[in-house]
């Protein structure tokens, strides 16, 4: 199932990136980027990282320490 990235303009002139699956469902939305060039650079970085990123399973019975800060 092929997906794609979409650049989405925000009202404040920033851009977000959406990862869309083959059925048209948005499965991830980025933080806002200052311009489309920065958003495209983030897509490139995401592609590189995702290809080799390990899966960290945090679904165990006892919660462990968080490896990242929760969204505000």
pLDDT tens string 6-44: 999 999 999 999 999 999 999 999 999 999 999 999 999
Tell me how far apart the alpha carbons of residues 48 and 24 are, in angstroms, rounded to a whole number.
23
Where in the chain are the domains? 4-51
Q: Look at 1-5, 39-43, 44-48 and tell me which has the smallest mean pLDDT.
A: 1-5
Tell me how far apart the alpha carbons of residues 24 and 59 are, in angstroms, rounded to a whole number.
28
pLDDT band at 58 (very low <50, low <70, confident <90, very high): confident
pTM of the model: 0.73
Superfamily of domain 4-51: YegP-like (3.30.160.160)
Tell me how far apart the alpha carbons of residues 50 and 56 are, in angstroms, rounded to a whole number.
13
CA–CA distance from 50 to each of 43, 58, 60 (Å)?
10, 18, 23
Q: Which of 70, 50, 47, 48 is nearest to 58 (CA)?
A: 70
């Amino acid at each position: 199932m092929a997906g794609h990235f979409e650049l989405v303009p925000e009202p404040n002139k920033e851009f977000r990136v959406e990862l869309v699956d083959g059925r048209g469902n948005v499965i991830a939305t980025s933080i806002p980027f200052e311009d489309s060039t920065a958003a495209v650079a983030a897509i490139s970085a995401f592609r590189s990282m995702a290809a080799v990123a390990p899966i960290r399973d945090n679904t165990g019975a006892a919660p462990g320490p968080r490896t990242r800060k929760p969204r505000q």
